Structure 1
Amino acid sequence: MTASITPCCASRPDRLRGRLRAALAALLLVVLALASPLAAADDATITGAEIVADDGSYVLNADIDFELNPRLADAVTRGVSLYFVAEVQIERPRWYWFNATVVDRQLNYRLYYHAITRSYRLSIGRFHQNFDSLEAAVRTMQRIRNWQVANGDELQAGVSHQVSLRFRLDTSQLPKPFQVTALGSRDWTLASDWVRWTFLPGIPAFR
């Protein structure tokens, strides 16, 4: 007769190893969830930009390549306003300290669907325009033209300045329930990387 012995329960070291593996797996899931928005953050690309002198001031022109994913497009059509922002910073180098920030400005966008007129309304600062299609409104956002970013006396002539520009969806202005939904969601992440270039006032340096 052959006898066999089956343990009724796992040993303490085995239980500890099992718990450790479960904890590591849970930690990995959290890391992947947090990394997902970062992986999708580069959904917009600034394909060209310049700052030029214009009648005593400096204006910025830029082209941005991006599309609204199905979730964002559906939200607009259902009446949710989407907010976008273009941010520009201009710094003047200082040999004795950190760069001096001489310009830090934003251009704000609001895109929403007007049910009564059955049109898409785009607000850029104080300017408003209606469009028959969402695609037409997005095309307008893709082109920044004659955005006054500095007065003539804000930039020192003959001195190189460092310009930084980016474009992004501003989820902080969404209704509270959508702000919660946007946390950790790739569908609600749309942003370009910062684009940086050096220029002398009035001379374009990035195209």
Structure 2
Amino acid sequence: MTDSSTPCWKKPPERGRYAGTLAGCWQRWCLVCLLCLAGWAWWGDSRAQSAPVITQMQVERAPEGLLLSATLQFDMPEQVEDALRKGIPMHFLMQAQVLRERWYWSDQEMAQSARYLRLSYQPLTRRWRLHTSSTPFTGSGLGLALSQTYDDLADAMAAMQRVARWKIAENGQVPEETPVTVHMRFGLDLSQLPRPLQIGAMGRAGWNLQMAQSLRLEGASTP
């Protein structure tokens, strides 16, 4: 008499272990995706928060004229900082315009002022130099520009971002009883870049640094 036996089939338990492993991998993959999505959302929010903006804008009437104070909030674009560190100076333009509203015609410009800034990096000394002038810089030199030197880019940017009692109009240009609107603009002057770099920078998001703000200044009441 011959005994017969049926072999034990062990594949199902192995498939169970494989399925459990696959489920664990799938859970970990979903967690990684969720973390990436959260990181992208945070990155997008942080970029939105760092958009260039003019804050704390104030205009006061003083015996010497119309004075403007403001704070500029911006991060230096990566491409601009990279060019600076390679020894290419960057030019910035700050403008103020004083307008009087006219119901019968376009607004009348009563005064305008400009401030020119040139920021450069010296690789040998590893220092930053900021030139400020009320007239455009020319190819022959920097003219009568105020020059300041800084150890860090953050210090140079802090100096650029503070506008304190900038005289934008003479005392007689804007009568005290006249209400006016002051427009302020600040941005990177791409026209001052070297020609090859200027062509590549036009319209590129990495070179976009522009901001503007307006303020209504009421006229002084007459007795």
Measured against the shorter chain, the TM-score band is 0.7 to 0.9
Alignment equivalent of 1:185, drawn from 204, 209, 214: 204
Alignment equivalent of 1:136, drawn from 137, 145, 155: 155
Alignment equivalent of 2:173, drawn from 151, 154, 160: 154
The secondary structure found in structure 2 opposite 1:83 is strand
- Is 2:182 the counterpart of 1:163? yes
The secondary structure found in structure 2 opposite 1:154 is coil
Q: Distance in 1 between matches of 2:52 and 2:114?
A: 17
- Is 2:214 the counterpart of 1:196? yes
Alignment equivalent of 1:94, drawn from 97, 102, 112: 102
Structure 1 residue aligned with 2:123: 115
- Is 2:83 the counterpart of 1:75? yes
Structure 2 residue aligned with 1:66: 74
Higher RCO (Cα < 8 Å, 6 or more apart): 1
Contact 1:58-1:151 within 8 A present in 2 as well:
yes
Structure 1 residue aligned with 2:93: 85
Count of paired positions: 161
Structure 2 residue aligned with 1:124: 132
TM-score, normalised to structure 2, is: 0.67
Query: Residue type of the partner of 1:142?
Result: Q
Contact 1:44-1:167 within 8 A present in 2 as well:
no
Query: Residue type of the partner of 1:77?
Result: R
Q: Which structure 1 residue ranges, 5 or more long, are not aligned? A: 1-39, 203-207
TM-score, normalised to structure 1, is: 0.72
Structure 1 residue aligned with 2:21: none
Runs of 4+ that moved beyond 6 A: none
Structure 2 residue aligned with 1:50: 58
Q: Which structure 2 residue ranges, 5 or more long, are not aligned? A: 1-47, 134-144
Shift of 1:99: 1.4
Q: Distance in 2 between matches of 1:90 and 1:115?
A: 40
Contact 2:94-2:114 within 8 A present in 1 as well:
yes
The secondary structure found in structure 2 opposite 1:172 is helix
